[in-house]
């Protein structure tokens, strides 16, 4: 989900696109995200935040973290809405002037920082701009709120720039950080934040919730690819990843068993047929392999291979991490790439080589 770098830059970006109308898009994004924030597995986190707010115990820095797609982005937005609301109930009232402005995507004291297009990191200038805005006097006479999402993508300078505001926050100002990898944030930042951890719901509950959104047979598969995070599963389904599972598994098994895969041929085929969904699938698949390995054994001692339940291929963890970075880069570049086929060729040559065990980080078959 991408929205708002800051009000100005976002407005500029939308103006370049010319349509649709700015407020409509922001309002739709806000409304959709706030609906997500009402998901049942986020209830405990919502209560924790609302109680702290009501008791005047909410910290000025709040770090909301969980598996990617578990709901931290939606909950960060909900929290911003909550701290800006003029009432102090268990949820934003939705009726006060502040809530009306927020829902319209038009609140003058709300700022948000996200990854800029094609960027791998949130840059120091974005954080400086956010902090400068948060020191201004409130336009609406109430509180101010800023979201940084994904906060774990701030580079070192950006983190350092944030520290001062976290140490001496302006009055009635809240900085909300959303992250899926809080371990990538410096201790100095984490220690100045109140932490809210989101846990993914049990699979059965998640599948029931997903079926309520959209009935599908393959939710258990998609949920597995999504590390149990329901919003990520929903996004994967929307990207068309579900329909690809059978085909992708066959391909991986074929490559892993020493079958001759021609990366150039696959790239030509993929570039014409749902390239974004295929990359999304590959990314989630690699993540699930890394996770499985990490939970089952010692990540540091990575001399042994681990089993892929989906394709009977063993992947060396080093190789999986390298490929994961490459898939992520390719996903970032896909939209703006002039030559999708070339981009995919570059990735798939490495992927196929790794599957066939031709690189240092070897992959091999397990019986």
Residue in 74, 79, 75, 69 with CA at minimum distance from that of residue 206: 69
Backbone angles phi, psi at 3, to 5 degrees: -160, 155
Shortest gap between Cβ of 223 and Zn ion (angstroms)? 34
- Write out the DSSP string of 341-355: HHHHHHHHHHHHHHH
Nearer to Zn ion, 98 or 302 (CB): 98
Instruction: Return the beta strands (E) in the chain as ranges.
Output: 61-65, 110-113, 144-148, 173-179, 194-197, 306-307, 313-315, 363-365
Nearer to Zn ion, 142 or 220 (CB): 142
Residue in 179, 114, 102, 116 with CA at minimum distance from that of residue 144: 102
Nearer to Zn ion, 99 or 261 (CB): 99
CA 117 from centroid of its chain's CA atoms: 15
Shortest gap between Cβ of 189 and Zn ion (angstroms)? 29
Q: Alpha-carbon distance 179 to 184, whole Å?
A: 9
The residues binding Zn ion (CB under 5 A) are 85, 93, 96, 99
CA 113 from centroid of its chain's CA atoms: 13
Nearer to Zn ion, 140 or 322 (CB): 140
CA 344 from centroid of its chain's CA atoms: 23
Nearer to Zn ion, 34 or 198 (CB): 34
Shortest gap between Cβ of 90 and Zn ion (angstroms)? 12
Nearer to Zn ion, 126 or 173 (CB): 173
Residue 201: is the preceding peptide bond cis (ω within 30°)? no
Shortest gap between Cβ of 62 and Zn ion (angstroms)? 18
Residue written as token pair 């681990």: 306
Nearer to Zn ion, 85 or 251 (CB): 85
Residue written as token pair 């840059």: 123
3-state secondary structure of 113: strand
DSSP code for 122: B
């Amino acid at each position: 989900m991408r929205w708002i770098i800051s009000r100005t830059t976002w407005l500029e970006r939308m103006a370049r696109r010319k349509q649709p109308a700015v407020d409509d898009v922001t309002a739709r994004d806000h409304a959709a995200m706030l609906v997500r924030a009402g998901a049942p597995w986020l209830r405990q986190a919502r209560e924790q935040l609302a109680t702290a707010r009501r008791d005047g115990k909410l910290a000025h820095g709040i770090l909301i973290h969980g598996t990617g797609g578990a709901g931290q982005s939606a909950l960060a937005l909900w929290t911003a809405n909550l701290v800006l609301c003029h009432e102090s109930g268990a949820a934003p009232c939705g009726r006060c002037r502040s809530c009306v402005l927020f829902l319209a995507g038009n609140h003058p004291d709300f700022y948000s920082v996200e990854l800029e297009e094609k960027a791998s990191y949130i840059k120091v200038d974005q954080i400086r701009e956010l902090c400068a805005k948060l020191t201004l006097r409130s336009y609406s006479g109430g509180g101010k709120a800023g979201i940084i999402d994904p906060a774990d993508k701030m580079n070192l300078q950006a983190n350092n720039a944030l520290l001062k505001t976290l140490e001496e926050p302006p009055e009635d100002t809240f900085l909300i950080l959303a992250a899926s990898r809080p371990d990538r944030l410096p201790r100095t930042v984490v220690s100045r934040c109140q932490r809210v951890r989101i846990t993914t719901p049990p699979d059965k509950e998640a599948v029931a919730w997903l079926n309520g959104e959209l009935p599908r047979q393959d939710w258990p598969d998609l949920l597995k690819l999504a590390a149990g995070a329901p919003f990520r599963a929903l996004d994967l389904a929307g990207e068309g990843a579900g329909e690809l599972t059978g085909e992708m598994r066959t391909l991986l098994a074929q490559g892993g068993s020493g079958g001759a895969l021609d990366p150039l041929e696959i790239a030509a085929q993929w570039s014409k047929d749902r390239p974004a969904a295929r990359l999304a699938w590959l990314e989630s698949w690699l993540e699930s392999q890394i996770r499985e390995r990490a939970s089952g054994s010692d990540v540091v001692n990575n001399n042994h291979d681990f089993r892929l339940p989906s394709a009977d291929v063993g992947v060396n963890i080093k190789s999986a991490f390298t490929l994961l970075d490459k898939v992520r880069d390719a996903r970032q570049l896909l939209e703006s790439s002039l030559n999708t086929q070339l981009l995919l060729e570059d990735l798939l040559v490495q992927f196929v080589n790794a599957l066939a065990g031709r690189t240092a980080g070897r992959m091999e078959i397990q019986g």
